[in-house]
Amino acid sequence: MDINKEIKTIKTLYENQLLKGELDFWLKYGLDYENGGIYTAIDRDGALLEIDKSVWFQGRALWVFATAYEKYGKKEYFDAAKIILDFIEKYCFDKTDGRMYFRVTKDGKPVIKRIRYIFSETFAIIGFAKFATISNDNSYKEKAFELLQFVDKIRNTEGILIPKFNRPTKGFGEPMILLNVLSELRVSYKEKESWINNYIDELINQIEHSFVKDDLKLVLEQSDANGDFDEEHFEGRLLNPGHAIEGAWFIMNEGLYRNNEHYISLGLKMLDWMYEIGWDKEYGGIIQYRDALNKSLCDYHQDMKFWWPQCEAAIATLMAYKITKDESYFEKFITINNYIQDNFIDNEYGEWFGYFHRDNTLATPLKGNMYKGPFHIPRMYFKCLELL
Amino acid sequence: MDINKEIKTIKTLYENQLLKGELDFWLKYGLDYENGGIYTAIDRDGALLEIDKSVWFQGRALWVFATAYEKYGKKEYFDAAKIILDFIEKYCFDKTDGRMYFRVTKDGKPVIKRIRYIFSETFAIIGFAKFATISNDNSYKEKAFELLQFVDKIRNTEGILIPKFNRPTKGFGEPMILLNVLSELRVSYKEKESWINNYIDELINQIEHSFVKDDLKLVLEQSDANGDFDEEHFEGRLLNPGHAIEGAWFIMNEGLYRNNEHYISLGLKMLDWMYEIGWDKEYGGIIQYRDALNKSLCDYHQDMKFWWPQCEAAIATLMAYKITKDESYFEKFITINNYIQDNFIDNEYGEWFGYFHRDNTLATPLKGNMYKGPFHIPRMYFKCLELL
């Protein structure tokens, strides 16, 4: 394989797909110039399927358009970021307790508030932090930092986050997403660098000890209260390869930034294990779930192919190649890229399809809902273009 | 088609599948003779996949084994019912508020309590009511009735059931399941017949006015606060054909019992509409979801084939044939039966598979989890054997 030639071709392809397929699609069909904010429940052809707005995606899309402005300097990206930012500040917080909603009406009335999770808040933090960078408005790095402290308070005060299970468990998602939040915040808030580095060390330590299991050669999605493998329950055996691979590149990325060999080898190990078990050798693609002991899975969508695990695997393999210069990682990246190009790209209307059956037939043609919108895909393009 | 010959063949087949494939499977692999109650998270071959127990299925399995005892008089069915009953009374209620849990450990410690729903309670009611019939222990019809009154209190007291949505909506599931609960309770509690009939009339009236839409020729799964079609939201357009067909036969059944022509024609209309939109003309089977306006669906498992909609469609079409003598209903019943026999039955280990992709390839081979266990399938056999 002529790696340099491949890199050149894919760079051109990704830049074009990012600007035309992604950002233009969401500017045209998602942005709500009337009420502010962004819609994400969009059909294949751009038609609106649902008039409520996802609060996760207000924060995520703010981050995306702010990052796009940082990289390409186009005014319309800045304006989009500002429209979303204003909507978040005006409508997405519950003024009575400071928590954020999960879903609001098009004009910002609350529809759903989730009591178990802090993800609406974490995505607003990365949005605020990136907006601080592009606007030079330091109040937003302060707001991001205050929101992070509020999230910490929520996480550490008993009785606020009501857990689903009476039996105490630990979830991989929370430290993994916080790790990304902190590394985003660090870019805009240099003064807090050493505090943030310590916090990140603590999170990676949690991940390494509670979820990365050398005896199983697996990254768990949930462990018991002691951080041990809980093999008697569906949730304890559940593997989410896309999630684990996302965490793997967050940790490699931290290793690169901090020049920390241990983090780099930890991230590589996580990627190797979870690519091995997550890649579908028959039909291609990173599969949604596996069982740690290869027992029958409980979730009926376990063998589907979603868009975002493919994004995370593309970033992680390319990063691993950049770190190790091991061509087998580059080959994996090319395999994933080909799988994406063959299945997910909609050349007619722009934006990727999101949901395929295991055999790569389309399950539903919509481009977005409350869980799919502008985030993983543009982030993949941003990160891969940096790495290429 | 020689209908009488078909009826004879299927009667023999169903009785055999009910006793050997169903009841024996759950007696052997599900019943917990050590701790009491029943496990439902069982793999294809009977292996236990998850040691927690579903509270829904304690009530449902109690109903199943009590009904089996009523019909076949085998002592082991009575004993199974008693083991489950004792587990429910001892462990499945939260003593602090009288509500029931959703999931408990094998020895009855609480794991999950759901705050939005009353389904654990409704399934315990039908179990208690049927146990009263087989045991002649009138205290259980009293307990069933008291639990029903408690459910009513919960439903009608603001602030107890915390709705998921801030925007007020109505769900088809609640009146539909209560209708079934009341008709089960009536069998054991003859003295309350006229009170129960009035309550059922009110529930059917709610269903007819809020969910059965003549202009759309559809049964909605969720309507807005006024009982109108809410076309701007995913949930408002969502159709659940299996659920609607289940409600259709509950209403036909009530029409037969009460000799009420209006209920019979209402149930037939619901069946006709929802079979038409729910049957997959390409691959067979009742599909999981449709969109009322044929827009792209949000749920990625929307085109799967689950076991229970096939059960409900078999009962409803056979009942419609018995009522109308219209052979096209019998032909539909045969089509559904053939679809079930070709795909769902596991002749090697017993019990049905539960989860197929749209093209009838198997999605996961397990026989049960927190949502699949002994209920829809044995109920289908019981009801179809009665009707045949």
Give the pLDDT of chain B (388 residues) as one tens digit per residue.
899 999 999 999 999 999 999 999 999 999 999 999 999 999 999 999 999 999 999 999 999 999 999 999 999 999 999 999 999 999 999 999 999 999 999 999 999 998 788 999 999 999 999 999 999 999 999 999 999 999 999 998 887 777 778 888 999 999 999 999 999 999 999 999 999 999 999 999 999 999 999 999 999 999 999 999 999 999 999 999 999 999 999 999 999 999 999 999 999 999 999 999 999 999 999 999 999 999 999 988 999 999 999 999 999 999 999 999 999 999 999 999 999 999 999 999 999 999 999 999 999 999 999 999 999 999 999 999 999 9
Q: Is A302 on the interface with B (CB under 8 A)?
A: yes
Q: Is B94 on the interface with A (CB under 8 A)?
A: no
Contacts of A308 in chain B (CB under 8 A): none
Nearest-CA distance A48 → chain B (Å) = 9
The span from the CA of A365 to the CA of A343, in Å, is 12
Backbone angles phi, psi at A110, to 5 degrees: -65, 140
> Which of B298, B302, B369, B371 would you mutate first to test chain A, the one with the most A CBs within 10 A?
B298
Query: pLDDT tens digits, residue range A5-43?
Result: 999 999 999 999 999 999 999 999 999 999 999 999 999
Q: Is A232 on the interface with B (CB under 8 A)?
A: yes
Contacts of B116 in chain A (CB under 8 A): none
Q: Which residue in B270, B272, B309 sits closest to B288, CA to CA?
A: B309
Q: Which residue in A49, A111, A296 is closest to B366 by CB distance?
A: A296
CB contact under 8 A, B233 and A51: yes
Query: pLDDT tens digits, residue range A70-90?
Result: 999 999 999 999 999 999 999
CB contact under 8 A, B295 and A167: no
Query: pLDDT tens digits, residue range A198-230?
Result: 999 999 999 999 999 999 999 999 999 999 999
Nearest-CA distance B178 → chain A (Å) = 26
Over residues A248-265, the mean pLDDT reads: 98
Judged by DSSP in three states, B169 sits in: strand
Residue partners of A301: CB distance under 8 A and separation at least 6: A288, B300, B301, B363
Nearest-CA distance A283 → chain B (Å) = 15
CB contact under 8 A, B364 and A52: no
CB contact under 8 A, B52 and A233: yes
Q: Indicate whether A381 pLDDT > 80.
A: yes
Percentage of residues in chain A having pLDDT higher than 70? 100
Residue partners of A224: CB distance under 8 A and separation at least 6: A167, A168, A169, A170, A230, A236
pLDDT of residue A116: 81
Per-residue pLDDT band at A163 (split at 50, 70, 90): confident
Contacts of B166 in chain A (CB under 8 A): 109-113
Q: Which residue in B47, B298, B303 is closest to A366 by CB distance?
A: B298
Contacts of B50 in chain A (CB under 8 A): 232-234, 298
The span from the CA of A306 to the CA of A29, in Å, is 22
Closest residue, chain B, to A303 (C-alpha):
B363
Q: Which residue in A110, A301, A369 is closest to B298 by CB distance?
A: A369
Contact A44, A346 (CB under 8 A): yes
Contact B135, B143 (CB under 8 A): no
CB contact under 8 A, B164 and A112: yes
Nearest-CA distance B108 → chain A (Å) = 12
pLDDT of residue A160: 77
Percentage of residues in chain A having pLDDT higher than 90? 94
Query: Distance between terminal CA atoms of chain A?
Result: 16
Q: Is B19 on the interface with A (CB under 8 A)?
A: no
CB contact under 8 A, A297 and B105: no
Over residues A308-312, the mean pLDDT reads: 98
Which residues in chain A (42-61) have CB-CB distances under 8 A to chain B? 43-44, 47, 49-52
Contacts of B165 in chain A (CB under 8 A): 111-112
> Which of A353, A364, A367, A369 would you mutate first to test chain B, the one with the most B CBs within 10 A?
A364
CB contact under 8 A, B364 and A298: yes
Q: Which residue in B233, B355, B361 is closest to A300 by CB distance?
A: B355
Q: What share of chain B is helix, strand, coil (3-state, %, to 5)?
A: 55, 10, 35
**Mean of all residue pLDDT scores within chain A:** 96
Contacts of A96 in chain B (CB under 8 A): none
Compute how many other C-beta atoms are within 10 angstroms of the C-beta atom of residue A352. 23
Nearest-CA distance A36 → chain B (Å) = 18
Per-residue pLDDT band at A161 (split at 50, 70, 90): confident
Nearest-CA distance B173 → chain A (Å) = 20
pLDDT of residue B85: 98
CB contact under 8 A, B167 and A111: yes
pLDDT of residue B338: 98
Q: Is B225 on the interface with A (CB under 8 A)?
A: no
CB contact under 8 A, A113 and B166: yes
**Residues making up chain A, counted from first to last:** 388
CB contact under 8 A, B167 and A297: no
CB contact under 8 A, A357 and B355: no
The span from the CA of A321 to the CA of A272, in Å, is 12
CB contact under 8 A, B112 and A164: yes
pLDDT of residue A112: 92
State the Cα angle at B294 between B293 and B298, rounded to 5°. 100
* Packing angle of the helix pair A119-135, A139-156 (nearest 10 deg): 160
pLDDT of residue B116: 81
pLDDT of residue B168: 86
pLDDT of residue B277: 98
The reply to whether the predicted model has a pTM over 0.80 is yes
The span from the CA of A88 to the CA of A83, in Å, is 9
